[in-house]
Amino acid sequence: MNTLNVELAERSYPIHIGSNLLRDPVALASLLAAHIRGHQVCIVTNPTVNALYGDLLAQGLGAASVDVFEMDDGESHKNMATYAAVLDFLVTQRHNRTTCLIALGGGVVGDLCGFVAATFQRGVDFIQIPTTLLAQVDSSVGGKTAINHVVAKNMIGAFYQPRCVLVDTATLDSLPAREYSAGLAEVVKYGVIADAAFFAWLEENAHDLMMKQPAAVAMAVTRSCAIKADVVAQDERELGLRAILNFGHTFGHAIESLSGYGTFLHGEAVAIGMVMAAELAVRTDLFHRDDAQRITRLLTTFGLPVELSSNNKLAPADMLDAMGMDKKVVDGAMRFVLPASLGTVEITDDVALPLLTETLEVFA
């Protein structure tokens, strides 16, 4: 097992990364005990994940009084109605300020559970146990919690850090191929924004990753988490550096909201968004076309979409409107994270509208 730390002074927390952690109740109990301060626990999960891992987690919680809330699966359920339903459940089951919420599932579960934890009784403890690759390398780390608004993704939320993150890479064995590939999009992101050598390693080890070879998966998850932990430690509330983690997301979130949540998995939309961002960087003479093509090739190798199909084309005007609603807009100006070279990105709001429109027209 590897343990990384997100260094945030008194709110610092560990990220434990290992295989079959959920299947060892003794080890699981030792990892979680220090982060559960009361006797009440509520596991927030979905039916599929609960059937696979719910009993294993409950065993590791030992004598704690455990309640389970199952929410429907999918991005479309990360909404105000589900948020209210979890709060109603906690009140009905008489949970108090010493309770601990545990998010057992993918990014949808983790984002929603974290937002509930941030707001129930003005804030209670929570733990992230991500079971998808995307959640393991991205959404479970860093304290961004949120639910979607009908017109914009993650518009309602809070920065609220977990007590710990426990990553069991063995859960990826039960993950459908499409979900696994979606997670690899975020792994590619880290190479582009922060580590050219890691990007090259991904190219060289793409086959092993697609085969879920344990050593390759462990390397990809650990390096991704290390990059994110370092960025979050420097800029917890996205006042500067942390914005680099949004590479591909300004375009990707617009694709998700316009297409209807669920048409694209988050990682699929981000993959297309990264290709769009790379194309925009090329058109602004910031990025070399050859490197943009390397990004596209790697995403394709990982089974990810790199363009909108004929069935889901989006008009440039609609994309511009949706991007203007994104929470990364500052004083009316859209901010873009654009690659300057593999391993380095720039944050800018100085993008000429004609170049942006031309880029969107390439994909329309």
Task: Look up 246 and say whether it is catalytic.
Answer: yes
Residues 19 and 168: beta-carbon distance below 8 Å: yes
Burial of 71 (0-12, 13-18, 19+ CB in 10 A): buried
Out of 238, 256, 268, 279, the active site residue is 238
Out of 246, 256, 283, 328, the active site residue is 246
User: How far is residue 108's CA from residue 131's CA, in Å, rounded to a whole number?
Assistant: 11
Task: Look up 10 and say whether it is catalytic.
Answer: no
Q: Is the dihedral of CA 76, 81, 84, 85 positive or negative?
A: negative
Out of 186, 236, 268, 279, the active site residue is 186
Task: Look up 205 and say whether it is catalytic.
Answer: no
Both tokens of residue 230? 């370092």
Q: DSSP string covering 3-44, please?
A: EEEE--GGG-EEEEEESSGGG-HHHHHHHHHTT--SSEEEEE
Out of 16, 77, 163, 242, the active site residue is 242
Out of 10, 94, 122, 311, the active site residue is 122
The dihedrals phi and psi of 151, each to the nearest 5 degrees, come to -105, -5
User: How far is residue 126's CA from residue 290's CA, in Å, rounded to a whole number?
Assistant: 44
Task: Look up 327 and say whether it is catalytic.
Answer: no
Out of 153, 253, 283, 294, the active site residue is 253
Out of 77, 153, 228, 294, the active site residue is 228
CA dihedral of 323, 324, 325, 327, whole degrees rounded to 10: 80
Residues 243 and 335: beta-carbon distance below 8 Å: yes
User: How far is residue 258's CA from residue 327's CA, in Å, rounded to a whole number?
Assistant: 15
Out of 249, 283, 294, 328, the active site residue is 249
Task: Look up 94 and say whether it is catalytic.
Answer: no
Out of 78, 95, 189, 266, the active site residue is 266
User: How far is residue 160's CA from residue 120's CA, in Å, rounded to a whole number?
Assistant: 12
User: How far is residue 165's CA from residue 15's CA, in Å, rounded to a whole number?
Assistant: 5
Q: DSSP string covering 83-120, please?
A: HHHHHHHHHHTT--TT-EEEEEESHHHHHHHHHHHHHG
Task: Look up 46 and say whether it is catalytic.
Answer: no
Q: State which H helix or E strand residue 163 sits in.
A: none
Out of 77, 144, 223, 283, the active site residue is 144
Task: Look up 149 and say whether it is catalytic.
Answer: no
Q: Is 226 helix (H, G, I), strand (E, B) or coil?
A: helix
Task: Look up 212 and say whether it is catalytic.
Answer: no
State the CB neighbour count (10 A cutoff) for residue 203.
14
Q: Which residues belong to the active site?
A: 122, 144, 186, 228, 238, 242, 246, 249, 253, 266
